[in-house]
């Protein structure tokens, strides 16, 4: 990326967190908030978040942001192969500065955990460990078939969902089942992203689920997971995952039947965006927050690099 406005360099350290892919994390979080309020018959203010929700939201956002930076540090070559305009692969932020930012983010996050109950602290620790194991050799779950799927489905569909739940009321063991639909939906979307990155991952010897099982099987498995998500959402009356599954089913089916980048990308976009829109319609303050993030991102990429967000073209 060609830098145009060096005065905005300080914003690099915000956008290296990749807020565009933090959006699904936030959507699963608020799906958990909503489901907890239904199951426990709680009265929530849908137009203004409570301080407790804000603390959980910020703490888990900071951990996921640190995880995304860590992933970029160890995936610089793969990101170049896949033509991803990430800050470390482009040399916009140094590895040293990125590493410092990781420790700062984790420090603030775990300070915020002092305001959480034990369940919240455990979830935060699990997310941190999972994020490290996902990117850092020799474990590097990202390059281990099936484990890459489990790590993503757990981080997005289970931990983020339960963090949202726990921000309004402490969850019990019997409540874990309500995260099953979001686990399946998150897994379905992730598998189709491995299809999109197939060529670059193969060239850099990243043995993801798509590289290991092949493109046809991974698309079929993604469709199967989405169906499981729909069925379990109907059974558990988890309406955010149900809405996402029904809206995106056609695109997942077309991705499998055509096996093209175009339809697979659409399945990923409609999957994540439908889940996000449903969550945002339930909580209008989340919708307002997303609008602010979108406008700030659009301004940043245009002013800093001369690129039009979200396509990132000149």
**pLDDT-derived band of residue 75, with 50, 70 and 90 as boundaries?**
confident
| Most trustworthy range by pLDDT among 87-91, 133-137, 243-247 | 243-247
DSSP SS3 for 313: strand
**pLDDT-derived band of residue 121, with 50, 70 and 90 as boundaries?**
very high
Spans of all domains in the chain: 24-282, 290-314
**pLDDT-derived band of residue 307, with 50, 70 and 90 as boundaries?**
confident
pTM over 0.85: yes
Please state which CATH number belongs to domain 24-282: 1.10.600
Whether 82 shows a pLDDT value over 80: the answer reads no
* Helical segments of the chain, H only: 12-15, 19-39, 51-74, 76-81, 95-112, 118-135, 147-152, 161-166, 180-196, 198-203, 209-213, 215-236, 239-258, 261-282, 284-305
Least confident of 84-88, 267-271, 299-303: 84-88
Mean pLDDT to the nearest integer, 272-276: 97
């Amino acid at each position: 990326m060609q830098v145009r406005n060096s005065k905005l360099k300080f914003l690099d350290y915000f956008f290296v967190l990749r807020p565009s892919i933090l959006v699904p994390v936030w959507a699963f979080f608020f799906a958990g908030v909503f489901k907890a309020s239904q199951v426990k018959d709680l009265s929530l203010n849908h137009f203004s978040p409570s301080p407790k929700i804000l603390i959980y939201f910020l703490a888990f956002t900071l951990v996921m942001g640190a995880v995304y930076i860590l992933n970029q540090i160890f995936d610089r070559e793969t990101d170049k192969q896949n033509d991803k305009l990430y800050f470390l692969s482009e040399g916009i932020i140094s590895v040293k500065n990125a590493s410092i930012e990781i420790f700062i983010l984790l420090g603030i996050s775990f300070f915020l955990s002092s305001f959480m109950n034990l369940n919240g602290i455990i979830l935060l620790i699990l997310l941190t460990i999972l994020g490290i194991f996902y990117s850092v050799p020799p474990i590097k779950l990202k390059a281990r078939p099936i484990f890459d799927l489990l790590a993503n489905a757990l981080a997005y569909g289970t931990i983020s969902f339960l963090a949202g739940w726990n921000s309004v009321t402490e969850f019990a063991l019997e409540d874990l089942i309500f995260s099953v639909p979001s686990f399946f939906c998150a897994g379905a979307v992730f598998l189709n992203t491995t299809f999109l990155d197939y060529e670059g991952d193969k060239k850099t010897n990243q043995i993801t689920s798509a590289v290991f099982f092949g493109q046809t099987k991974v698309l079929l498995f993604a469709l199967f997971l989405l169906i499981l998500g729909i069925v379990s959402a109907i059974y558990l009356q988890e309406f955010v995952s149900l809405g996402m599954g029904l809206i995106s089913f056609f695109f997942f089916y077309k991705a499998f039947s055509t096996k093209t980048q175009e339809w697979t990308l659409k399945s990923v976009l409609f999957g994540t965006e439908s889940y996000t829109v449903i969550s945002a319609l339930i909580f209008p303050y989340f919708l307002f927050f997303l609008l602010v993030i979108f406008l700030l991102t659009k301004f940043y990429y245009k002013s800093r690099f001369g690129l039009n967000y979200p396509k990132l073209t000149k």
